[in-house]
Chains A and B, each alone.
Chain A
Amino acid sequence: DAKTTQPNSMESNEEEPVHLPCNHSTISGTDYIHWYRQLPSQGPEYVIHGLTSNVNNRMASLAIAEDRKSSTLILHRATLRDAAVYYCILLSGIQGAQKLVFGQGTRLTINP
């Protein structure tokens, strides 16, 4: 399983942007980059995913490096409800080899 590396924890202030980095130097050409987050006492929830191009949705943006060996999840204006553990996961594009393998993730703390 391709591995990702994330900082254990990050801290930011409410209403400021947050950039959560992820390194995935062993990514293969068929791997998609997925981000999930887990709020306290809840199951993980999908945030965003991408392959090569930057992606935006209502929750966040995903910036993918040109060589695809790293990516950054961007929360444009953090709120207290964004405090969670954020997981960066590589999901194989090969049928029959697709499962989400979670690492330790980054625990994001938002200060009021």
Chain B
Amino acid sequence: DTGVSQDPRHKITKRGQNVTFRCDPISEHNRLYWYRQTLGQGPEFLTYFQNEAQLEKSRLLSDRFSAERPKGSFSTLEIQRTEQGDSAMYLCASSLAGSKGEAFFGQGTRLTVV
């Protein structure tokens, strides 16, 4: 297993377009997290799944954002009608449930909305 992978690594889109990102977690991990990070800031929590259930969504996640993890394996994060303020690095992480489980992060998808 090569760790958490995210696709694409970079995405440039025009304002108003929809974009979808994919995250493939480490195979035996049942927890999957999405974060957003802007320059100079720490990662901001967006949402997380345990298996296929979405357990929590941040208030930062407006109704233009939706995340799925249909079979409890890979996850997608979709942003509809993108805005320039959506430009950021989107990070995915996975872990085993339990407070002792370290989270492993992917390299992220950098979104630029022009």
* Interface, chain A (partner B; CB < 8 A): 30, 32, 34, 36, 42-46, 49, 85, 87, 91-93, 95-96, 98-105
Contact = CB atoms under 8 A, between A and B. Distances in A.
Interface residues of B, number: 25
A32 B103 CA distance: 14
Contact of B56 (A30, A49, A87, A99): A99
B91 interface: yes
A61 B18 CA distance: 45
A29 B19 CA distance: 41
A43 B108 contact: yes
Contacts of B44: 102
Given A32-B99, A104-B41, A105-B42, A99 B105 contact: no
Nearest to B104: A46
11 contacts: A30-B99, A34-B102, A36-B103, A42-B107, A43-B106, A93-B99, A99-B48, A100-B103, A101-B45, A103-B42, A105-B42
Q: Is the interface of A mostly helix, strand, loop or mixed?
A: loop
A25 B93 CA distance: 27
Interface string B76-114: 000000000000000101000111101111111000000
Interface in B1-45: 4, 31, 33, 35, 41-45
Contacts of A101: 45
Contact of A45 (B35, B97, B105, B108): B105
Contacts of A105: 42
A112 B43 CA distance: 29
A87 B91 CA distance: 16
B100 A96 contact: no
A45 B104 CA distance: 6
Contacts of A43: 4, 91, 93, 105-108
Nearest to A30: B99
